[in-house]
Each structure stands twice: as structure tokens, then as C-alpha cells.
Chains A and B, each alone.
Chain A
Amino acid sequence: MNKNKAISITVLGIVILFIAIALSITYGTKSVGLSHVWDAVLGRNTDVYEVNIVQTRIPRTLFGIIAGASLSISGVLMQSITRNPIADPSILGVNAGASLFIVAGIAFFNIQSKISYIGLSFAGAMLTALVVYKLASVGYGGPTPMKLAISGSATSIALSSIISLIVMPDSSVMTTYRFWQIGSIGGTNYDDIKLILPITILAIIVSLCFSGNLNTLLLSEETAIALGLNVNRTRAIAAICGVLLCATTTALAGPISFIGLMVPHFIRMIVGSNHIPLIICSGIYGSSVLIISDVLGRILGRPGELESGIMTALIGAPVFIFIIRKAKVQSL
């Protein structure tokens, strides 16, 4: 029963994703017809204006698929590790940590290459994740969901003031940063995709391999140990995968918030807590949500566009509040 449900949800997700991709390629400031889309995909009539537009929208859409899946799987992993329904890269302050390191890299070391962006972003994100977890672990009851969320938000606030201090003196860094920190999948190209695709796939495969262990971890730490699970290793590997997934996206697209919170939350309600369908479905729906947010942003923000980072915050913040309101935010 549950398995059939998971399969039908997956199929539905794939259909939605295809619709989202089609929308993302055809809609926008200038809408184009399907024939132009085919021309672009098949590489015909490349001198026609509409075909060119489609060709610039393809990498953006591809990147959206990867970024959406990364962020939402990252959310799944963080929620499972902390046994906490309100974990997400932006709420736990991980995005702010990645931002700080990237900003420092731009300002002090003049980094240019995308790979150093990713490296710094990963280092910053990992460090912040550890600090936030430690901060929340202080005191009675260990890292409860409330404590984690508040520690993460407080750390974000603290880090963003340091970011302002670094960014302000140099107007060129300031300009780069202001546009980057909004979070947008608009400015990406095929090179970016080639760079992050292997990392993303690797991290997703590793987390799928560990999904059995993650299922055990959800029972309770004591049970997991009793069942012979190496709890710390499982946590460490899942955390590295989770941070890797959000850090790569953040490095290239800027902080895109709340996808990792809302998508896994609803998927968990439908398919349950088994990690294999959870991770797969979250990935598929995460991509759809990000692409649809991007399309909505292009439609609502005419003649320009509303960056997808803003759209996801506008959609995700109410969802976050809704989740907080549900009385039992104790643990998963």
C-alpha cells in the first residue's frame, strides 16, 4: 500500500516536473511557441530570435532542477540528523556561513573561479553547521528543534552583520554581493552545471545508500546503537552530504531559502519517513517547486523578474510559520 503510494507520488512528481520544465522554457518576459522549443532542443534554425531565447533558458532550467533537488534533499538530511522538522539550510544558518566565507574570499583573496566559490562555501557551511549544533546542544534537553532553530537564526543575524562589515568598504564587492545574496538561478550557464552535477549526483547516491541507516537513526539514538549502527559515522556522512548539497547550490546561485524546509515536510506527510522514497520524492518535488517559483517570479516581476530566492522566501516563510504553529514541534 505504502509502496504503491510512493510510486504513484513519484510518477505524479515526474509529470509535474516535466510540466514545470516546459513552463520554464516557454514562459517568461517573452513567451515562445513550442515549435521554437523543438528547434532549440534539436539545434535547428539557431539564428531565429525566439530559438535563441529558448537556448538561454535551457541552462537556467537545468540548473533549477539540480539546485531544487539539492536544497530539498539537503533539508531531508538535516532534518533526519537533528531529528527536527524545522531544519533547513537557511534556518540553521548554514547559508549565512557559506555567504560569509564567499564574501571573505571575494574581498580578501580575490577569488574568481567557481570551484573556489564552492570550496569556500562548503567550508563555511560545514563550520557554521557544527557551531550551530554545538550552540543548540548547550543546556538541558540537548539540541531540541526550538533551540536549533533559534540558534540558527541568531547565528545568521550575527554572521550577516560581519558580512556587511566586509562588504561595505569595497563598492565592487558590494555590488557583486548585493545581487548574489538575493539568490537567483538566472545567471547560470553550462559550465556551472558541469561543475556541480557530479558533486550533486555523488552526494545524492551516498545519501540514498545511507537511507537504511538514517531510518534506523530516526527510531532513537539508543535503539540505533542497540541495533549495531555506527551513529556518529552515519550522522557525519549524512551531514557532509547535506552540507555539500546546499553549499554547491549556494555558491553558484546565492542563498535560496525554505525549499529544504517545505518540500520535505509535505513529502514526509505523504510518503512517510522511509528515506529512499523520501529522498527521491523530495528531490523531484524540490526541483519542480524551485522551477515553478522561478517561472512565477518571471511572470510576476515583469518586465524584469523576481529572483527565485525572493519567491521561495515569500512562499516558504508562511509555510515555516504554519509548521511552527502545529503544536508538536518536539521532534520527528
Chain B
Amino acid sequence: MIKRRRKYIFILCILFAITLVLAFCNLSIGEKNYSLDQVIKTILGLSDEGSYIIAKLRLPRTITAILCGIAFGVAGNIFQTLLNNPLASPDIIGVSSGSTAAAVYCILFLNLNRNIVSIISVFAGILVAILIYRISYVGSFSTSRLVLVGIGFQAFFTAIVNWMVMKAAEYDVPTAMRWMTGNLNGIVTDSLPLLFIVVVVCLLSIIALRHGMQSLALGDQVAIILGVRINLVRTTLIICSVLLIAFATSISGPIASIAFLSGPIAAKVCGRNQSNIISSGLIGAILVLGGDFIGQNLLNTRYPVGVITGILGAPYLIYLLISQNKKGNI
């Protein structure tokens, strides 16, 4: 037990180190390259050289990437664990698309303040999550029905988003791409504090509930026997993860595949002996940072991060489908 715990902490340290390295890569490499030294000095406020590019452009972008990655990764992992199905991540079952639709409407048509937008899209996300759950509950609960109902919702909201984006941003392709695939361009600093607070608060509450979550994954009956107040725990977890998803979405757009990929990768890397909350968050951050780095620097066109992560997610989705079908889970 202690040995396992130690191994998990060791892996977490490695993941954290990778996140840091990627973050520094994102800060120092770009159109103009800076040395590690300069980056650190600029962040600490000791040097003015390149302060605009590093402090005003790259730092907010990197921090957003990390926070959104954590948010998507953790929330996805919770959905997958609670519904006991890797296909049931919020980006596939339409919860994210509800938040996206609300956010796009508020931003493009009502011109609301970013923080209000985030709050509205949280409510929309929670509402959609409840609706999907209620509608897919017919006499008994079935995850595959939930996934399909979610896909229906997804189609509905995607149509709305497409329409709004078409009308509002006929010539503004980056804005359109943000709301279709997720993009970190044009992040501004003033939306960061609230995102940071939300991520920290939700993460802490989720970590506090991790034992309950693990028991729930064993099934409701087992969880009741183990003394878990299942409704309270489940509701809190779902609300926290929708909060995470909705806030992150309202800032970066729905970055494809992160929510869906992080949990399974974390389970592969760390095993399934613990709740994998922090590890899936770190994996999410690594995926967003890495995707953004590849999209910005390594290819001959600049791609939004969502396109890169979408490509990463596609083969895994197909693989998952085949293995699920083989197991007869659907």
C-alpha cells in the first residue's frame, strides 16, 4: 500500500516536471526565442527585456493552457469514473456543447463581461447535464442510452453554435475556430483570476470527496454499504466538474479530446488504485501545453490547439470503441 502510494507520488512528480518543462518551452520558444534565464528574470520582474512578449502574451496563454487542461482533465475523469464508461466524458455526451452554446450567445450577441459569461455558461452546462441525465433515465439507467442522448444534444447545440458563429463572425475565422474546436489565441489576463479560483476551489472539493468517488465507481449499493451519502457526493462531484468544464470552455472554447483522453491516460500511467484526480489534471495540462506547442511551433501552419488535440484523440476514440465492443460494454 505504502509502496503503491510512493509510486503514485513519484509519477505525479514526473508529470509535474513535464508540465513545468512544457510550460517553459511555451514561454521561451516562439517567433522570437528567449533563454530560460531571461524568462525567469522577466517573470520575477527583474528584467524588462522581452517583457511584453513573455509577460503579456505568452505567460497568460501558458497559464490558461495549464488551468484549462487541469479543468478539462479532472472533469472528464470524474464523468468517466461516475458513469463507469470512458465514452461518457462531457465533451462526447454534450455537456460541453451546452456551455459552449451559452457562452457563444453571451459573447457574440450580448457582449457581456467575461466573468458573467462564465457564470451563465456554468448554469447552462449544469442544466444540460441534468436534462441529459433525466431524459436518458427511462425506467432504468443505461450508460449507452446516456451517451446517445448526449450525442443528440451535442448535434442540437452544435447546430446552434454553427449558426451563431456564421452570423456573427463571417470574416473572423479565429473567433469561429475558437468556438468550434478550442483555441488559446487572444487570451487576456483579466479572465485568469476567476478561472484560477474556480479551478482551485473545485479541485480541493473534488479531492476532499475522492474516497466517496472511488466507492461510487464500485456501484451504488457498494457505496451505500461503505457509508457514502451517494446523492450528495455525486451531485457535488458533477456540479464541480461542470463548473470546471464551463469556466474553461468560456475562456478557451471547447478544446477537443482533453476531457476524454486525460482520464484513460492517467489510468494507464498510474494504475487504477487511486482516484487519479491530480494525475488526470496534470495529463490534461500536459496535453493542452503540448498541443499548443506543436500547433504554434512545429508545423508549417499555426493550428489552434483544439485541432492538434482532436487529431491525438481521434485514433484513441476508435481504439476505445473497438475494445469496448469486444468487451461487450455497449
Residues of chain A touching chain B, judged by Cβ–Cβ distance below 8 Å, are 86, 90-91, 135-136, 138-141, 144, 146-147, 149-151, 153-155, 157-162, 164-165, 168-169, 171, 174-175, 178-179, 181-182, 257-258, 304, 306-307, 309-310, 313-314, 316-318, 320-321, 324-325, 327, 329
Contacts and interface: CB of A to CB of B under 8 A. Distances in A.
Interface stretch (B1-9, B45-53, B273-281, B314-322): B314-322
Contact of B301 (A86, A159, A169, A321): A169
Contact of A171 (B173, B318, B328): B173
B326 A138 contact: yes
Contacts of A150: 87, 144, 147-148, 151, 321, 330
Determine the main DSSP class of B at the interface with A.
helix
B148 A158 contact: no
A304 B167 contact: yes
B310 A161 contact: yes
Interface in B122-143: 135-136, 138-139
B32 interface: no
Contact of A165 (B311, B326, B328): B311
Contacts of A162: 311, 314
B304 A168 contact: yes
Determine the main DSSP class of A at the interface with B.
helix
Interface stretch (B113-121, B158-166, B207-215, B236-244): B158-166
Contacts of B16: none
B321 A154 contact: yes
Nearest to B322: A138
B216 interface: no
Q: 5 tightest CB-CB pairs across the interface, nearest first?
A: A161-B310, A313-B159, A158-B314, A317-B156, A169-B301
Nearest to B310: A161
A87 to B, nearest CB: 13
B303 interface: yes
Interface residues of B, number: 52
Contacts of B317: 154, 157-158
B202 interface: no
A90 B162 CA distance: 16
B231 interface: no
A147 B311 contact: no
Contacts of B139: 327
A146 B144 contact: yes
B87 A325 contact: no
B294 to A, nearest CB: 12
B129 to A, nearest CB: 15
Contact of A317 (B155, B322, B324): B155
